[in-house]
Structure 1
Amino acid sequence: MGTDCCATADFYATPRGAMVARLLRERIGVIWPSLRGQSVLGLGYAAPYLRLWREEVQRCVAVMPAQLGTARWPLSGPNLSCSVEEACLPFPDLCFDRILLVHGLEVAEHARRLLREVWRVLKDDGRLLVVAPNRRGMWAYVETTPFGHGQPYSAGQIGRLLAASMFRVERRDAALFMPPLRLRPVLRSARLWESGARLMLPLGMAGLTISEAVKDVYAAMPVAAATPPRRMVIAEAAWRPAARVSAAEERTSDPHGSTGR
């Protein structure tokens, strides 16, 4: 079970949380620079990142899994946030162009059910962006951050999980190469840390793994077991020789037969 959403909101209110949001927004903005006129769903605790497109999208909805409680959503304007069951999203089929899943996959009680619901509400040409703590990164082992709770994933594990849920990964990225420290000199030089470490370290050493996926509409769908066809079995009849009938029995059984003197 991961940290609750109030603790996540408190983390983003700190200088370290603001630095994390700023660095991650930059990477997300590179992948999705503009979503003008589209419908966007933020699943998990995505409010600090939805502000990238809040003023240009047609519809922007923030959803938090019910098991994490409720949160203070830092969104301006009308209230477009709600708390739902992760395996039963209250949206019709094929209604979102983009879905951002952050602080959601690692704390999901049933990850495959969550992804199957994401597949259902995402349009056929839509895209999913999954942000999760990297199993090999340092941030997954620091419990004072939201990334140190729940189930961390490697990029390969997320790819296999998405493939099992009928998604196809088309792009991979990473973020938070800098160490998870609270020191002011480190926080002030966060961009320098991030850019330098990105050049020297592989993506597998980052604190967060980012995967962009599309719906694999041609994936094989499991079907119910087919009823086996009926088979005709011809059983060999048992043959038994007829019993011999005596002459006396034959005369008795035949009323029109000849009789003796």
Structure 2
Amino acid sequence: MALDVVDLRAFYASPLGHVARQAVGRVVIRLWPHCQRQRLLGLGFATPYLPLIGGEAERVIAFMPAAQGVLNWPSQGLSASALVEPTLLPLPTASVDRVLIVHALEETESPEDLLEEASRVLNPGGRLIVIVPNRRGLWARMDTTPFGHGRPFSRSQLENLMRRAMFSPENWAEALYVPPLRRRLFLRSAGAWEKFGAGLALPFAGVHVVDATKQFYRQAPLRATRRSFAFRPVLLPQPTPSRRLTRDRGASPPPG
């Protein structure tokens, strides 16, 4: 069952949601520190993170999947959010510079189609950040948060998926080392958990955060070909019958 936009909004309004936004947001800012004069697209439920990096962007829009629902965003001013089919985005080809995907890839039935559609709307050389649950992390094993729903990914699975969609992963990061518990002790020590886990590169982080670049061309696979070197003559010489043989065949048999 797909996540509901109301549940997502309620999670990010909770103390645990604030912790998740801060931990993941620090990684996103580190990967994309400058977005001046960039056209930025958020796909999924990216509105908690778009204000962190879109302050100086030329344009920021938020597309939310039809199965999830849509919220008016931002709360003040003109709305920049829309309800869409994530594999059929209502944008021209090569119309945006950067795409941030959150709470979308793990929920869709066809992750490769979603990434290919993101590649279509990106400029050549455009950049993409994907945030997905880590298969080995504790957050993916508990359905009390949005990161415990849908399909989690290992690093190798995510890398293969992105390369098939013409993306080249450039930077890998992890976040949410703190256990997904609402106890005050864990919430207050969340910063220490993140520093400790990232410093030791522990494998049980809650989410993968991948920064990738759109490739300019798709590499064509090389296939081995077999060639036959047997030469076959086109015209074969025909033997010519001799005159003697012709006379013998034409002579009448001797009398008995």
| TM-score, reference length from structure 2 | 0.83
The aligned counterpart of 2:46 is 46
Distance change (3 Å), C-alpha of 1:22 and 1:76:
farther
Q: What amino acid is aligned across from residue 23 of structure 2 in structure 1?
A: L
CA distance in 1, matches of 2:71, 2:12: 12
Checking the alignment, whether the CA contact within 8 Å between 1:42 and 1:101 is kept in structure 2 is yes
The aligned counterpart of 1:229 is none
Q: What amino acid is aligned across from residue 157 of structure 2 in structure 1?
A: Q
What is the CA distance between 1:221 and its match in structure 2?
Answer: 6.1
What is the CA distance between 1:2 and its match in structure 2?
Answer: 3.0
Q: What amino acid is aligned across from residue 219 of structure 1 in structure 2?
A: R
CA distance in 2, matches of 1:115, 1:197: 29
Distance change (3 Å), C-alpha of 1:95 and 1:141:
same
Aligned residues: 222
CA distance in 1, matches of 2:47, 2:179: 24
CA distance in 2, matches of 1:174, 1:18: 17
CA distance in 2, matches of 1:180, 1:221: 43
Query: Which deviates further from its counterpart, 50-59 or 24-33?
Result: 50-59
CA distance in 1, matches of 2:200, 2:38: 36
Q: What amino acid is aligned across from residue 215 of structure 2 in structure 1?
A: D
Checking the alignment, whether the CA contact within 8 Å between 2:3 and 2:68 is kept in structure 1 is yes
What is the CA distance between 1:197 and its match in structure 2?
Answer: 2.2
CA distance in 2, matches of 1:145, 1:177: 14
CA distance in 2, matches of 1:35, 1:121: 17
Cα distance per residue 1:134-162 (max 9 Å; x no partner)? 00000001111000000000111110001
The aligned counterpart of 2:109 is 109
Distance change (3 Å), C-alpha of 1:75 and 1:132:
farther
1:166-177 aligned within 5 A = 166-177=166-177
Checking the alignment, whether the CA contact within 8 Å between 1:62 and 1:82 is kept in structure 2 is yes
CA distance in 2, matches of 1:187, 1:199: 19
Cα distance per residue 1:190-237 (max 9 Å; x no partner)? 1112112222342x3210001111112222369xxxxxxxxxxx9xxx
Identity of aligned residues (%): 42
Flag structure 2 segments of 5+ consecutive residues without an equivalent: 222-233, 235-256
The question of 1:215 aligning with 2:214 is answered: yes
Flag structure 1 segments of 5+ consecutive residues without an equivalent: 223-233, 235-261
The question of 1:194 aligning with 2:185 is answered: no
Q: What amino acid is aligned across from residue 213 of structure 1 in structure 2?
A: A
